[in-house]
Homo-oligomer: A and B are copies of this chain.
């Protein structure tokens, strides 16, 4: 067994204690993100937009022009999984303890471009994250907790209280395809699941 400092392909230097056996196989899956809380038990905004270098799951758009008044999010939603949790999901089909899934919101910019009529991303407009942890959230359905750092342009809120289960978790529990995650709308995450 040997411990190395891994150098991530994203240009980040991540101090990871990786256990490598004599055949060179990596036997532990480390995470690149650990939730940090302030003294009020509010989740701190992840630093340096780290989620933007996580693994993309998919994107959807709910344009203002099509809103029925009930759509709770600004228009474009981009979703990423934390790389360690993604790797675990890819191997096992399960979201492990400590999984982080991030969503950044954005307004529609153009609706016409050389590639056709449609919806093109404009200004970024908010950040949210969900974390699965039996240890941190023993009483949340599925052990998933949801946080929003504001539906507005940057700077995003520096910290966020856990949302009440009825605000986020309830819809995820009743409608999401795979363990509270809307994999039915995120084909790249769905494709990663082992058959």
Contacts and interface: CB of A to CB of B under 8 A. Distances in A.
Interface of A: 4-14, 16, 18, 26, 29-30, 32, 49, 52-53, 55-56, 58-63, 66-68, 70-73, 75-78, 80, 83-84, 86-88, 90-91, 104, 106, 109-110, 113-124, 171, 175, 184-188, 191-192
Task: Give the interface SS of chain A, mostly helix, strand, loop or mixed.
Answer: mixed
This protein's copies in its complex: 2
Contacts of A122: 187
A158 B60 CA distance: 29
Contact of A117 (B13, B68, B123, B192): B68
A88 B10 CA distance: 10
Contacts of A116: 62, 66-68, 70-73
A157 B124 CA distance: 35
Contacts of A78: 56, 58-59, 188
Contacts of A188: 52, 78, 104
B9 A83 contact: yes
Contacts of A171: 114-115
Given A53-B55, A187-B124, A86 B118 contact: no
A15 B176 CA distance: 37
